[in-house]
Chains A and B, each alone.
Chain A
């Protein structure tokens, strides 16, 4: 509690209100700030664009629902790109909550492009032990996932006709709120040579850079900003693009809070010395 103007008010609550306003106001009154597309996002976009029609990618929903505001725009953008380019998608989840989210996202975005379940896309479901699941799919995907999320034998689906393991997959895209892309690198890429694309929360971005520089990752799409860049490349602005003004104002607020906090601290320290 800090004493301000003779009344004891809680600075924390003022900061909370400022934060809520910094995010809410730009959502209501748009600023339309221009967005720059970074090289790492462009690399991912270019890679997906370079894939021939009817290639198959594996999209793994490696996240919980706690990070949905970041994960859903990331998933929507990459799914739209794949379906627009007639790339087949096989989905799975290595975290439990990713299963329901992945199934929902795939169905919804596939519907926008009139794609057929089992022929253009498939959702395999959830496996809890991710190291084992990743290794096992390197041998035989149908052995690891004998049935899809709906409980149907996956041999019944035409999408699986020419798919045995990672050799038949153009890339693994891990939409993750943790370091799951690193497990894909360690167990799928190092051993089986499959390309890995991380679509991660902003928190995880810095952990991906060493693997980006070493060429172990195709590119990097990180956070709501990464999703907004991808939406810009796609020419289809969505949730992420709409949130970018608010992202800017909230960052400015936090930088100001750091500066003001330090100024107050140094003034108080000087007063104490005097």
Chain B
């Protein structure tokens, strides 16, 4: 039997032991997972991003301009030094500024205008009427600048019912997703490890 599969199966059972109660086997597995995950992340970030995007341009291709983002990135480590910690805000402000500037046209185009346009449906059937009513009433529910009274109150209440249908559907799909994960692990234990199923 493949030693890798046996180890994976033992670790899988160690994590399932938590279902009985918290125990040292679970805790050990949990901390192994934390360690290898962080190690993996560090390796992939260095080898996949920093080497091709920073080290090779500077040290092999001689593009010295890349020293600037390199230094800015390293300034993030100043967080560890109390007196110099404020300098780490400079690279952070670049990331935030770029993100905010890029988000405005993107959200305007793809989420606001496109979604409003898709709601402009002909009132020719019940489904279309429900779609328009649901979008409007949910927006009313999330509009807190005016008290939910009268027409606003009725709209907000109707919005809650539509939201409940959405949350219910999402819960149904969440169950589906979680069960799928369990099926995957069961298939591993019963097929790959024990060989009980094809």
A residues neighboring B (CB under 8 Å)? 13, 16, 19-20, 23-24, 27-28, 66-70, 72, 96-97, 99-100, 125-129, 131-132, 135, 145-147, 149, 151, 182, 185-187, 189-191, 201-203, 205-206, 210, 213-216, 222-225, 239, 242-243, 246-247, 250-251, 254
Contacts and interface: CB of A to CB of B under 8 A. Distances in A.
Contact of A202 (B20, B115, B174): B174
A252 to B, nearest CB: 11
Contact of B169 (A149, A185, A206, A223): A206
A187 B102 CA distance: 8
A13 B20 contact: yes
B47 A223 contact: no
Contacts of A206: 166, 169-170, 173
A185 B118 CA distance: 15
Contact of A250 (B45, B95, B179, B187): B179
Contacts of A145: 52
Interface stretch (B84-92, B105-113, B150-158): B105-113
Contacts of B174: 202-203
28 contacts: A23-B182, A27-B197, A96-B41, A96-B45, A97-B40, A99-B44, A126-B49, A128-B45, A131-B102, A146-B53, A147-B56, A151-B47, A186-B107, A186-B110, A190-B105, A190-B109, A202-B174, A202-B176, A206-B166, A210-B118, A224-B180, A243-B183, A243-B187, A246-B179, A247-B180, A251-B176, A254-B175, A254-B179
Contacts of A27: 183, 186-187, 190, 197
B187 A203 contact: no
Contacts, number: 151
B175 A251 contact: yes
A21 to B, nearest CB: 10
Majority SS at the chain A contact face: helix
Nearest to A200: B177
Interface in B24-77: 37, 40-41, 44-45, 47-49, 51-53, 56
Given A203-B170, A225-B176, 20 more contacts: A24-B186, A27-B186, A66-B181, A69-B184, A96-B41, A125-B48, A128-B49, A146-B56, A147-B56, A151-B47, A186-B103, A186-B109, A187-B106, A190-B110, A191-B106, A202-B177, A224-B183, A239-B184, A250-B179, A251-B179
B115 A28 contact: no
B53 A28 contact: no
A216 B114 contact: yes
Given A28-B190, A187-B106, A190-B106, A223 B177 contact: yes
Interface in B88-131: 95, 98-99, 102-103, 105-107, 109-111, 114-115, 117-118
A201 B177 contact: yes
A216 B110 contact: yes
B13 to A, nearest CB: 12
A133 to B, nearest CB: 10
A28 to B, nearest CB: 6
A28 B197 contact: yes
B47 to A, nearest CB: 7
B1 interface: no
Contacts of A215: 118
Contacts of A70: 177, 180-181, 184
B20 to A, nearest CB: 7
Contact of B186 (A187, A190, A205, A246): A246
Nearest to B185: A69
A13 B20 CA distance: 7
Contacts of B185: 69
B3 interface: no
